[in-house]
Structure 1
């Protein structure tokens, strides 16, 4: 079956025909009768769609994760593109099995294998204290954990919510924490980096992944902070890591959301925990900015739609024109590269 149009190509006042995944579905009641509110998704993004009465009455259920052929018209609603569906057909199991999932599942823009290789190389470079190194390699040499970590999304919808999102986010936070530790040498570098490596590791079990990515039962009941502690327990037990360092790592994981109202079990009580929280928060916010600016296309400056998780729209401002770096800066960069090659 042909894919049809992609979400990224849908604009207001256009006719839409295409194959999509139903990532969310719920029923509502309007003055004209019951209706369906859907979130339709493919590899390029997602958007909201409505099925109004009387067409809505033809569907007793629309399971999340279903593949559907949808036809309708796009319009702007509260600065967001929304579809009004005129036809909807759920694909048969045979049609669903034959569909190209690469067209339907968003994934990281960076190669997953290359990111994983980079992260593993950094682990071997940074963890020079044997128990930390043993812990990290024990986890990542466990085949099912490494395979799940490679493809797991980092969220359901806020940031890095796509295949490989957890790997991309973890690698970015790890690299940010390296720079923070370079700038603040008083920090316990290896403990901070262990926190960066494992702060979201529990998301492997918090999210189902796949086309209909959603929270698992244990994800809803326990959350990824508690799940990460549980998953690391057997590896910590055989790592030889001293109890105070194990306790500090657990604190980093349990406090990295920063505030109790944002899901932290404890607020950060060590400099390393503060550094991890701000690195994690910065990377998540920058990912949201990239996602919102992608919706603006190549139009240059402009305002994004309202973003509820940020509590504001964002402005893509004019950029400073590119200029050649001064000779002193070029020399500094060259010397830094040479020093890295000598390590």
Structure 2
């Protein structure tokens, strides 16, 4: 099978009954069933905006003896309405073994609201702004500019399911943790700002190898066997070895920040935090993850107008959306941004 080609232009969220469809989707589900006219396929297609069910009826279904979820497909057909829900009647479907190089995965999978390239640039800006010790700056830039590492970071999710579990999620989480750490350095000026920033940038680096990403977003073999903390240390070690001007004590502290950022042994931390910077990184990491979980709960609650979430297993509680304090300045800014700017008459 070939790899998919072409740029996506039709999105599931905007499809309407009677509309012709000819575009790329991700095959998210496939199971075969039997009707009086022969076997048929029940399919689920996915893109970044949602999912839609589809059918391939007999005898066309016989052209597809096996269909495996997780591959890109080009679907030609049209949209039907079935029980007040959109459904795709598939006339032709081309199945590909994978996405072509350069394909924007955020077209097909849930993704960060901010493009990963923008997140990466913001992370690099923090290095420029806060790294005054040249060996620290050199290390961070060499790691972030490494071709393999950069490519993985730009698509990696932040977790399998719990928080930031979408394309660009790892970078979004890393940037959030780094910004929180820098803000706390303003409150506690005795903190080692530069070592803390390096720890924040690299604390979850191993997740880019721990998780497969894509539709499955499952743990890789090395992820299951070693975990992201050890994987991250293995990826960093060659860079640290080639950075002789970085003091050994700073290298030691960076390794401690990474290996202790989960905080407690029961949460998968090989060691517990033993420096002020390690405590700050642990709490910033925990805070950013939990607030993302709550943000996702709020997004679901917005669809129904609920003020309480269902019970959330990872937080061990329901969460409540309180009434916000009125912010007139925010309303005025929003009004100004939405005003139509018309040319002045001469």
Partner of 2:148, secondary structure, is: helix
Is the CA contact 2:12–2:49 (under 8 Å) kept in the aligned structure 1? no
**TM-score, normalised relative to structure 1:** 0.70
Is residue 196 of structure 2 the alignment partner of residue 192 of structure 1?
A: yes
The within-5 A match list for 1:96-245 is 102-239=106-243, 240-245=245-250
Is the CA contact 2:12–2:51 (under 8 Å) kept in the aligned structure 1? no
Inter-CA distance 184–24: structure 2 relative to 1 (3 Å threshold): farther
Distance 1:310 1:62 in 2: 37
Distance 1:131 1:294 in 2: 42
Partner of 2:286, secondary structure, is: helix
Distance 1:124 1:200 in 2: 21
Inter-CA distance 73–128: structure 2 relative to 1 (3 Å threshold): farther
| Shift, 1:212, TM fit | 2.7
Write out per-residue CA displacement over residues 76-122 of structure 1, whole angstroms, 9 at most, x where no aligned residue: xxxxxxx9x9x999965259869995543111101222221121121
Inter-CA distance 102–120: structure 2 relative to 1 (3 Å threshold): closer
> Who is 2:325 aligned against?
320
Runs of at least 5 residues in structure 1 that lack an aligned partner in the other structure? 10-18, 27-37, 50-59, 75-82, 326-343
> Who is 1:328 aligned against?
none
| Shift, 1:306, TM fit | 2.0
Runs of at least 5 residues in structure 2 that lack an aligned partner in the other structure? 1-7, 16-23, 32-42, 54-64, 331-346
Is the CA contact 1:304–1:314 (under 8 Å) kept in the aligned structure 2? yes
> Who is 2:268 aligned against?
263
Distance 1:315 1:90 in 2: 47
Inter-CA distance 209–324: structure 2 relative to 1 (3 Å threshold): closer
**TM-score, normalised relative to structure 2:** 0.70
Inter-CA distance 212–22: structure 2 relative to 1 (3 Å threshold): farther
Q: RMSD of the alignment, in Å?
A: 4.0
| Structure with greater Cα Rg | 2
- Give the counterpart of 1:254 among 256, 259, 272: 259
Distance 1:187 1:25 in 2: 53
Inter-CA distance 96–185: structure 2 relative to 1 (3 Å threshold): closer
Is residue 298 of structure 2 the alignment partner of residue 284 of structure 1?
A: no
| Shift, 1:211, TM fit | 3.0
Write out per-residue CA displacement over residues 129-188 of structure 1, whole angstroms, 9 at most, x where no aligned residue: 122111111112212211221221111111111111111111111110001111111211
Inter-CA distance 292–276: structure 2 relative to 1 (3 Å threshold): same
Is the CA contact 1:21–1:40 (under 8 Å) kept in the aligned structure 2? yes
Distance 2:325 2:171 in 1: 32
- Give the counterpart of 2:70 among 65, 72, 76: 65
| Shift, 1:278, TM fit | 0.5
Inter-CA distance 298–211: structure 2 relative to 1 (3 Å threshold): closer
> Who is 2:20 aligned against?
none
Is the CA contact 1:23–1:213 (under 8 Å) kept in the aligned structure 2? no
